[in-house]
Structure 1
Amino acid sequence: MKILIVSKKEDSNPFVKTLSEGLLSLNIDVVCSVAEFWSTESKFDIIHFMWPEAIFNWKNSISSSQVEKFRNRLLYYKGCGCKIIITIHNLKPHLIKDNNVLMLFDIIYGECDAFIHLGCYSKQLLEAKYPFAGHYIVPHHIYDSIYDFSIAKSDARRLLNISNEQDVILAFGQFRSDDERNLVFVIKSKLGSQLQLLVPGFYRDKILTRRIWRIPKILYKTLYF
């Protein structure tokens, strides 16, 4: 079996990298690439989409001709007996509103043989709309392979000046907009002062960084409250 994950392995989101490494450890042939999707010489048993926006390099807008080019390429793979799968990370783009980009989602959904859901909400929604495809809940895998667990919890609390009495919630990932940041403030206000929120990606786009260990210590105070 040969699987194409239509995403660049080196993208900042570790989902694809860790998933592909896990599949390779099971001796499953996996390729992570957008370019391979367009290659006339490529042959795969499964085409697995993650984020449809990645097909055209996350552009904010694409043309109608690009949409048709994608549709024809997808139908080519279907005609070759290739199975189409998508993991539902988000039903639509977080910020992009371009109708042609939105059409990429509809095209993939319409041709999918199987939907991988990370929870019940998208499964209930899309299973009703696309009942002839398979719908499966596969919980988000754990990123243990990319984190360093050598430091003890007590040492981490001391370094970050968090008392042992405070409950802590870690909110990893990128906050893409002020609306997403405001949600964190609402959670904090509802749950009370004894809750500490550690949010490494809170100002990621503002301080131009992708990893917390690259952030100067002087900025740590902006990342948790």
Structure 2
Amino acid sequence: MCKIRIYPESKDNPYVENFFQVAYDKGFCVTGNSIFELIFSTDILHIQWPEAWRWEKKPKRLMMAGYFLFLPLLKFLFQIKVINTVHNLKPHSKQSNFAHWLYVRTLKQSEGFVHLTDSGKKEFLIEHPWASNRKHATIPHPDYARQLSSLNRDEARKKLGLSQSETRIAYFGYIKPYKGVDRLIETFLKLKISPESASLWVGGNTSEGMKKTLIDLTCDSSNIQLQLEYVAEDELETQVKAADWVVLPYFSGLNSGAAVYALSCGSRAVVPDTSVMRELDKLTGGGSFKYFRQADFTKVLSSVFTWSGGLSSTELNLDALGHQRIGKLYLDFVNLVTGRNQ
């Protein structure tokens, strides 16, 4: 039976849970990422984020750096295959020369790459042409249906005390500079919308410096609610289902789990105008996204407060993002990379 070790294990990330659920159910995708398991009990190392060793605390950070440093030797000695999910084209945080070198070197140890969209695959191969002779699969980001309850929009708005006429916009996810949350708040304030007609909710962990920046920006506003901490699943579901629009004001980025979560909740979203976002929209029926280019973000955000009705008559269809389909695609790719039948 093929043993798959996921690094980082990311038990608190529902994407990882949903993506690997079928493999878990079949009993051969084994979680856990201790050094011993990664060396002596691994047929496939599935790397989610090649830079993740930098997120570890000492001494594990040093041990994981050593593991990836000697990965070519470990692959040879223990016949380990490596699969890498391309969540981003490169790390969002600044890297040292050594970290960058090890990042690229680790990518090059991969026999196979999982891409969340065909557009993302194309961008990756432009960035890394050497990978064209490796194995590739496009396996979409799974939806979050397994994490959601039967709560509907009206019930969610009632829980939050929102009136029928109030336009609610929301941002959620880890708050980093490249995600443009401070720009979202500044733009919302610049539009000078009355508290009775619209409100903004921002939820997610962030650094102390960013937390201070956002608190300072909103100190005089009564219709902006900040929840700058981990948001529990039931609270997140309520906020997203209650929102008229989820706004993802990113300056950069390849994929977005937040966009998939918004779709899973049946919510509309304002997203960057990228080929990846347009592909995701088309894959799920089309008409759920409103797009902005960086220069016209203010104009697009302003337009959502006067919008009435739906974006499209096309019905949202999440079948392509179902975890059973995703799981089958993944196991087929495992067979391709290993050359064996499970």
The answer to whether TM tops 0.5 is yes
* Alignment: residue pair count: 211
Matched, 1:158 2:178: no
The question of whether the paired residues in 1 share the 8 Å contact of 2:205 and 2:230 is answered with no
> With CA pairs under 8 Å and 6+ residues apart, which has the higher RCO, 1 or 2?
2
CA distance in 2, matches of 1:113, 1:191: 50
Deviation for aligned residue 1:67: 4.8
Matches within 5 A, 1:22-171: 22-25=22-25, 27-36=26-35, 39-44=38-43, 46-58=44-56, 67=65, 69-78=67-76, 80-128=78-126, 129=129, 130-147=131-148, 149-164=149-164, 170-171=170-171
Of structures 1 and 2, the larger Rg is shown by: 2
Answer whether contact 2:202 2:228 (CA < 8 A) is retained.
no
Instruction: Report the Cα distance in structure 1 between the residues aligned to 2:192 and 2:36, rounded to whole angstroms.
Output: 49
Once residues 228 and 205 of structure 2 are traced to their aligned partners in structure 1, the CA distance between those partners, rounded to angstroms, is 11
Query: Aligned partners of 1:191, 1:83: CA distance in 2, in Å?
Result: 53
Q: Provide the aligned C-alpha RMSD in A.
A: 3.9
**How far did 1:32 drift?**
2.5
- 1:175 Cα deviation (Å)? 1.2
The residue type equivalent to 1:13 in the other structure is: N
Displacement after TM superposition at 1:93 (Å): 1.9
Are the equivalent residues in 2 in contact too, given 1:23–1:30 (CA < 8 A)? Answer: yes
Q: Residue 47 and residue 39 in structure 1: after superposition, are their counterparts in 2 closer, same or farther (change >3 A)? A: closer
Amino acid corresponding to residue 31 of structure 2 in structure 1:
C
Q: State the alpha-carbon separation in 1 of the partners of residues 200 and 5 from structure 2.
A: 37
Q: Following TM superposition, by how much is the alpha carbon of 1:163 offset from its aligned partner in structure 2, in angstroms?
A: 4.2
Look up the match of 1:220: none
User: Deviation digits for residues 32-59 of structure 1, max 9, x if unmatched?
Assistant: 2331466543232x11000123235446
Secondary structure of 1:29's match?
coil
CA distance in 2, matches of 1:142, 1:213: 15
Contact 1:9 1:32 in 2 (8 A): no
CA shift for structure 1 position 165 = 5.2
Task: State the shift of 1:123 in Å.
Answer: 0.9
* Alpha-carbon distance in structure 2 between the residues aligned to 1:9 and 1:134: 25
In structure 2, what is the Cα distance between the partners aligned to 1:13 and 1:122? Answer: 21
Give the distance between the partners of 2:155 and 2:35, measured in 1 at CA. 46
Alpha-carbon distance between aligned partners in 2 of 1:119 and 1:191, rounded to the nearest angstrom: 35
The equivalent of 2:184 in structure 1 is 184
Over residues 194-215 of structure 1, what are the superposed CA-to-partner deviations in whole Å (9 max), with x where a residue is unaligned? 8865442276864663124798
Cα distance in 1 between the residues matched to 2:146 and 2:20? 12
Question: Please, which of 203, 207, 221 is the counterpart of residue 200 of structure 1?
Answer: 203
Per-residue deviation, residues 135-176 of structure 1 (Å, max 9, x unmatched): 2221111122223x2333112112334444566665432112
SS in 1 for 2:175: coil
